Structures are given as C-alpha cells and as structure tokens.
Chain A
C-alpha cells in the first residue's frame, strides 16, 4: 500500500508558477480557441464589432476541403516514416555510443548537436545540400544524372504525379537528423540501466550478442520505447519549421485534376488557412481542434499498447 503524504502549502507554493504558466498559456487559449472555432472569428478589422456564432460550419468546410484531407494523408505518411527512421537510427546510435568504441563521448555530444539547431536553419541548410551541393558533387563522383533537375530529391513524385515522395523523403531525412540525437539519449539511459548481471548470465549460457540484444536489451528498454514512440509521434505530427524552410509546401502534385502543394503538412495547412490570403482564422482554429483530437486519440492508443509490452524488473 502506498502512503500518500498530504501536500503542504509549500508544495503548492513551489508548483504555482509553473501551474499558472500552464493554465495561462495552454489551457485558457485552448478553450478560447475552441469557442472561436464555432464563430466567424477573423483577427483583422473586417469583423470589428461582432463575433457571430455559426455552429459547425467551419468543421464541415474543413472536413470536405481536399487540401486539408491531402495534408492529413501526407502528414500521416510522413509521421509513420519519420517515427520508424528516427527510432531505428537513434537506437542504433545508442548501441554504438554505449559500446566500448573509442571516442564515444565525443560521438554522444556530436549526435546531439543537430537537435540544438533550430528547425528553420536546418531546413535552409539541407535545401542547399539537396538543391546545390548534391547536383554539384554528383557528376564529380561519377553520377552525372544527379545534376539533372528532374532528379533533384525535392522534385521527385510518384503514383502518377500524385505523391511527392522526394519531398517527403527529404523531410524525413532532415527530421531524423534533427531528432535522432535527442531520442538517442533516452535509449542510451535505458540501455545503460539494464543490469550487467543479466548479460553475464546469458553469456555464460552461451548466448551471442544478437540474441542478447533481442531477448534482454530490447524488453528491458520497452519503457523507453513507450516514451520515444510517443515523442516521435507527436513531434512528427506537429512538424512545421522544417516544412516551411525546406520545401515551402514542396513540389506541386496533381490530385483529382487539381494542382495542390505536395508536401504541405498539417501545421502548415492550418497556418496558411488562418493567416495567408483568406482571413479564415475561425476555420484555422476548427482545424486545430480537429488536429488536437486526432493527436489525443492516437497518443492514447499508442501509449496503451506500448505499456502492455513493458517489463518491470
């Protein structure tokens, strides 16, 4: 039985600044935004003097807008791919850094540094690499086809020009480069907390490194998997600054005989709806609410499933 001590006033005093910030910056705007999504809110002077209740019109319009649905699909594909890439790379890096390799401390710091660079800068740097450096180096390394603009990663599309696979791959590459170091740290902590006795016992019983990895390390870091899957899922879904700086919405694709931006992730779609061109902040807000509920449902499902696989020592 766990004994719960009564929280003293000092406890609440220390907690209050963070609690206040959380309520003011996250809770209050969330409910205000949800309220605005049922009106014809526009943050320009055009609507001065009146906020009219319009019911679920904004939600209806969003759910039938082909651009919103396309963004949803593109974001989902990006999220799944990015989650896989980041976790595989990060786990691999964590294994590398936790082994006895020379210079592992330098590697540890080095792999983490991209995470410190802002997404916008990363996007511009990699845009330069994809559009200028690769076409220049390609011919020098014996691959002249790389200098053809049709082969630039950011221009490649598939499925009859309806899916910007190149743009998505480039977003995954940059997203992985950005997040792998951070996720690696989490895996590293988990790997290092696996008791050495388990490994020694397995070695005595004749288990090779591969078997030890699969049967001991992986189950013991399952708790870390829950955390990292959750983090990468949420961060991939919310990706914005790399999207804006790397692809600007990417090459156009043709869907249902309409030309649309090919790599417009959800966050960019919401931002563009609310701020650029049409003054549709209420609809942008409605999309944000939809976005929130989708994320909540997916995260709850993911965490529940992951928790079942955890092993407590």
Chain B
C-alpha cells in the first residue's frame, strides 16, 4: 500500500512539474535584478507559472552575445529585450506581433516595426540630461534654470571650478571615458550631436551620418561641449573610473554635475544622499536648447516560437493593469512608467525630474541607436578615449570624427 502511495505521489509531482508552464525573461538592467526576481516569483505563484529571470548587463555584460548563443541552442527566452532598430533587425523573424494586446492603448512609445506592427512593450521611460546637485549649485551661486546653452555652461563651470575647495568638490563634472565606459561617450554623449535641440522624432542628423556626412557647425559646437566636459572632469575618473566611481563621485558630493541618466537613482539611495538633484539640458549647442533625452531604454518582445505565448502575454499585461505590477515597476524598481493609466510616481529625485520634463513635453529623441553598434563600440569609443587621454586635441577629434562618419556610407 505504502509503495503504491509513494509511486502515485511521485507521479503526481512529476505531472505537476510537467504541467506547470515555464517562461524565461532575459533583460539587461542590472540595477533592478533583485526587484524583478521578487516580482516574478510572486506573479509566478499567483498564476502557477514558473518564471525565470536572467539578467546580463553592466560593465562587462553581454546580453547580445548571450542571446545569440541561446538561439543557437534553441533556447531563446520567451521574453527578451531589444533596444533599437539594429537589435530589431537581427531578431525580426522571431518577434511576435503584439498589436492586439490591452496595454497598447495605454502607451505612445511602444516599439513599432518598419511595417508598422506593434512589437515592443516599453520597459520604462528613461532619460538623461546633465544631472546637477541643486544644493551645490545654490551654494556656488549658479542658477540651474539658466543652463541652456554652451556659453551658459562655460560660465557656470568656470564659476564652480573657482570655488572647488570651498564647496568640497574634486571636480565640477563627473564624466567617464575609459574603454570599459565607452557607452557613456559613444552611445549617450554622441546623442547630443545627433538630436539635441531637434524636434522629437527628427532623425535628420543621424540619417546624414549614415550617408557619410557631418553637420560641420553642429559638430564644432558639440566638440566644444565635449572639451568642456573633459576639461572640468576628474582626470582619474575620466580615464580609469568605473561606473561606480563615476556615479559615486556625484552621490557623495565630490562633483556638481553627472553625465548619467535617471537609472542611477538606486545609487542615490544606497549612498544615503539627501541633496536635491534634477536635470538640465545638455549644453552642446550655441543656440538655446530646452529639453532632455527621453525614450524607453528597451522594449520587451515576445518570442514567436515560445511554448507559452499566453503566459508571456499575461505577464506583460499584468505589469500594467494589476496593482502589484504597477507597484513593482514604479515603486520597487523606481522606473518611470510608460503607460497613461499608471498614476504612481517614482521616488528618486532624478526619475522625478525626467518625469517632469516628459510631462511638459520637453523631450528630445534617442538617436544613437540609428548608428550601428559596432561603429559606436569599435570606432567612436576609442576616439573619445584618445581625447580623454590627452593624445589628440579638439581639432584632431573633429577631423577624425568626420573621417569615421564618412566610413558609414555603404
């Protein structure tokens, strides 16, 4: 009798685990890995689905490589992220059309394929401008609301630099340009050249670049801006600093400005910072610009060949329409929601600032993903690094940048 009961128990357990649906989600936001796993576990229990979260990102992360290996093994996750047209074109054949999902009506920044199909669920709304420490700026006598163009920043940086000791700063701005941090310069900073001051959705400068041409006046202004950032940065952080070094300098009050996006809010919390912080526009243009760069950093797409499309769809919908999902996205992960129906606000000061700018409609596009990733990583990043190391000057940078863009023409 006991034996039979045993066998029945074993069989039912096996059947249970066979019957339980499984979905895998691959993403690259290291800073919310813990919160994501906690939410997935709760959701999974409530829906009888086993959810596995895989996170691959940060300084040495390589999600793109991981996805290629997974695909070759036939194990592409059910939900994964794409960050732009380059990534979309690589995976277009296996991405599911999500046009008929409930969440589509609640957002204006879903990812649309070139044919107009809605395929991507916006992970969040993120952005960057020049993050500033409002308390330090006040003590230095600089008005952040006047930081709107190159000339204003030049004056402000000089003023703050002259009061460095009094304010307890090591440098005016915390900027990183080592090879490992090439994404700060060649992905984010170059976007100032591509879209600062242009109407949201205007891709003209990026399209010009893909045709091998540069806008000389824009580039000259932009080079002045990079020179300003490099000159007033802490040389150690600039040439060898890691992500933690760069963000930590700002969070501990050693720098007045930071060149990073609102995703650094968790660092603000862990540094137990209490200063007021917000974003000002980048000063890459001699003309006045009044906006920051806001966009979803990535979109969740569903694998067409997934064995559990229904569970994957429900997972995404529940993030928007259930209280637990909304709380996870906004309160626990600290992300700005991309959906109209969610009324919660993130708690971090930089995220609130981005949400503020977005609510006023003062946003510029993220155009850096229109340039091929290998171009940004292998050609642009070393170029910025050369300038940061002091091996080339501004004029040489401009000529090499122009030559590099010329190679983009096919």
Residues from chain B with a CB closer than 8 A to the CB of A249 are 179
A271: CB under 8 A from chain B?
yes
- Contact of B385 with A by CB under 8 A: yes
Mark the stretch among A56-64, A97-105, A181-189, A273-281 that contacts chain B. Answer: A273-281
The chain A residue with its CB closest to the CB of B397 is A259
| Residues A275 and B68 in contact, CB atoms below 8 Å apart | yes
Query: A-B pairs with CB below 8 Å: how many?
Result: 120
- With both chains docked as a complex, state the minimum distance between the C-beta of A156 and any C-beta of chain B, in angstroms: 10
Q: Does B67 contact A (CB under 8 A)?
A: yes
- Quick one: which of B362-410 are within 8 Å of A by CB? 372-379, 381-383, 385-386, 389-392, 400, 403
Contact, CB under 8 Å: A252 / B389: yes
Q: Which among B58-66, B109-117, B268-276 touches the partner chain?
A: B58-66
Chain B residues near A48: list those with CB within 8 A.
Answer: 93-94
Taking a contact as CB atoms under 8 Å apart, the answer to whether B386 and A152 are in contact is no
- Tell me the complex Cα distance, A244–B376, Å: 18
A278 touches which of B94, B373, B383, B403 (Cβ 8 Å): B373
Q: With A45-B90, A248-B60, A275-B68 given, is the CB distance from A254 to B374 under 8 Å?
A: no
Nearest CB in chain A to that of B66: its residue:
A275
Evaluate contact between B68 and A279: CB separation under 8 angstroms: yes
B positions within 8 Å CB-CB of A: 59-60, 62, 64-65, 67-69, 71-72, 76, 89-94, 178-180, 235-236, 238-240, 372-379, 381-383, 385-386, 389-392, 400, 403
Interface residue A304 (Cβ < 8 Å from any Cβ of B): no
A223 at the interface (CB under 8 A from B): no
Tell me the chain A residues, 120-175 only, with Cβ under 8 Å from chain B: 131, 135, 149-150, 152, 154-155, 157, 161
Can you show 12 pairs from A to B with CB atoms below 8 A apart?
A44-B68, A45-B76, A46-B89, A155-B240, A157-B391, A248-B178, A251-B385, A252-B381, A275-B65, A276-B373, A277-B378, A278-B372
Contact B179 A250 (CB under 8 A): yes
- Structural contact, B385 and A252, CB atoms closer than 8 A: yes
**Binary flags per residue of A42-59, CB closer than 8 Å to B gives 1, else 0:** 111110110000000000
Kindly provide the distance from the CB of B57 to the nearest chain A CB, expressed in whole angstroms.
Answer: 13
Please name 12 further chain A to chain B contacts, defined as beta carbons within 8 Å, in addition to the given A44-B68, A161-B391, A275-B69, sorted by A numbering: A43-B68, A46-B89, A154-B240, A155-B239, A155-B240, A249-B179, A253-B386, A257-B400, A259-B379, A259-B383, A259-B392, A275-B62
Contact (A244, B68) CB under 8 Å given A152-B239, A251-B385, A257-B400: no
Residues of A within 8 A of B378 (CB): 67, 260-261, 272, 277
Assess whether A245 is interfacial by the CB under 8 Å rule: yes
Question: With A and B bound together, what is the CA distance between A252 and B397 in angstroms?
Answer: 14
Closest partner residue, chain A, to B237 (CB atom): A149
**Distance A131 CA – B375 CA, assembled complex (angstroms):** 28
A247 part of interface (Cβ distance < 8 Å): yes
Among residues of A, the one whose C-beta sits closest to the C-beta of B94 is A45
Contact across chains for A45 and B91 when beta carbons are under 8 A apart: yes
Provide the main secondary structure of the chain B interface. Answer: helix
Interface pair A150/B382, CB less than 8 Å apart: no
> Given known contacts A275-B65, A276-B374, A276-B377, is B92 in contact with A46 (CB within 8 Å)?
yes
* Most chain B Cβ neighbours within 10 Å, of A44, A250, A274: A44
Structural contact, A279 and B239, CB atoms closer than 8 A: no
Whether B64 lies near A276 (C-beta < 8 A) is yes
Q: Which residue of A lies closest to B72 (CB)?
A: A43
Instruction: Enumerate chain B residues within 8 angstroms of A257, measured Cβ to Cβ.
Output: 400, 403
Give the complex CA separation of A252 and B379 in angstroms: 10
Which one of B179, B238, B373 contacts A247 once the chains associate, using CB atoms below 8 Å?
Answer: B179
Residue of A nearest to B236 (CB): A149
Pick the contact of B382: A42, A44, A259 (CB < 8 A). Answer: A259
Instruction: Give the docked Cα–Cα distance between A249 and B391 (Å).
Output: 17
Residues on B with C-beta less than 8 A from A272 are 377-378
Residue of A nearest to B69 (CB): A43
9 smallest CB-CB distances across A and B, nearest first, come from: A277-B374, A275-B65, A252-B382, A259-B382, A277-B373, A248-B180, A45-B93, A252-B385, A45-B94
Picked from B60, B179, B372, B374, the residue with its CB within 8 Å of the CB of A261 is B179
Choose one: B76, B90, B179, B238; the contact of A248 (CB below 8 Å).
B179
Q: Given that A43-B72, A44-B68 are known contacts, is A254 also in contact with B240, CB under 8 Å in the complex?
A: no
The smallest beta-carbon distance between B249 and chain A, in angstroms, is 13
> Which residues, 10 to 48 on A, are CB-close (under 8 Å) to B?
42-46, 48
Bound complex: CA of A46 vs CA of B85, how far in Å?
Answer: 13
B61 to chain A, nearest CB (A): 11
Q: How far is the CA of A271 from the CA of B374 in the complex (A)?
A: 13
A267 CA to B385 CA, complexed, in Å? 22
Q: How far is the CB of B378 from chain A (nearest CB, A)?
A: 7
